[in-house]
Structure 1
Amino acid sequence: MDNDPAVRNLMIVVGLLLGAGAMLMKHQQLQTPPEDDWFRVRVVEQPGVVVVKFGAEWCPPCRAMHATLNELRHRKGSQLKIVEIDIDKKPHLAQHYGIRSIPRTMIFVDGQYKTGTGGSMPVQELERLVAPYIENRFAAAQ
């Protein structure tokens, strides 16, 4: 390989641009809702905060996350909606959002993807994740 600094710098710039392009494409994919009526009705058309969990019945961490979501529903049910998606029953949704491991939790506000996290977590951690979006909705309503 050529040790010319200009060539090396050019390769670094090209690599950075390719990486940035890939990130932009991924961001665009997350912002574009899938063409799925079930998902559109339950998530995209819902006002406010919607917590979406991708998982499967056979997945122990997903079952733990299901219990966490039930606790969150008990604590914050009037302030948000919860949608659980089984990747075995709706694989096209998992593919659309690039789900590679489960459980995967995503937060949508007024139909727009805001953030996501992987793995199971205690309800307190999930509350911290959704709190800023609930607070923003509450502040906007006043």
Structure 2
Amino acid sequence: MLSKTWFIFKGWCFVTKPIDVSDSDFETQVIESESPVLVDFWAEWCGPCKMVAPVLEELAEEYSGQIKFTKVDVDTNHETAIHYGIRSIPTLLVFKGGKPVDQLIGAVPRAEIKKRLDNALG
């Protein structure tokens, strides 16, 4: 039985929740992705990160099959956070074609995140 995280449709497997990404698999999961990717840079102790997390889970379901949602814990994945100049969390980076194309910093409203995701798809 599949959990809510995954579902299969006509042979395709879609992720419906953000997946954890580390320094070691960031390139494979984000840079090499054929679809746009939202990366949530966060930390366990971050209050605003906890506020944004349920919104991102809802959006991951809504955009399933169109945009991949990932999470990078900045406390355990320093290299990736430093490489992308992450100084405040939560920071959301949207990647398309392996390159960052948009950035949101802080506890951004759901409507603004959706607007940026729609732009990435357009």
Sort the TM-score into its range (normalised by shorter chain).
Answer: 0.7 to 0.9
Number of the residue aligned with 1:102? 89
TM-score normalised by the chain length of structure 1: 0.67
The separation in 1 between residues aligned to 2:83 and 2:120, in whole angstroms, is 23
More helix by share: 1
TM-score, reference length from structure 2? 0.77
Whether the 8 Å CA contact 1:71–1:123 is kept in 2: the answer is no
Identity %: 34
More strand as a share of residues: 2
Give distance in 2, aligned partners of 1:85 and 1:62: 11
Aligned twin of 2:121: 134
CA displacement at 1:63 relative to structure 2: 1.1
Structure 1 residue runs of 4 or more that deviate by more than 3 Å after TM superposition: none
Alignment partner, residue 35 of structure 2: 48
Matched, 1:119 2:100: no
Check if 1:62 corresponds to 2:46. Answer: no
SS of structure 1 residue aligned to 2:25: helix
Query: Structure 2 stretches of 5 or more lacking a match?
Result: 1-22
Q: CA separation in 2, counterparts of 1:38 and 1:75?
A: 25
Q: How does 1:5-84 map to 2 (within 5 A)?
A: 36-84=23-71
In structure 1, the gaps of 5 or more residues are: 1-35, 136-142
Looking at structure 1, the residues matched to 63 and 35 of structure 2 have their Cα atoms a distance apart, in angstroms, of 13
Structural RMSD (CA): 1.1
User: Number of aligned pairs?
Assistant: 100
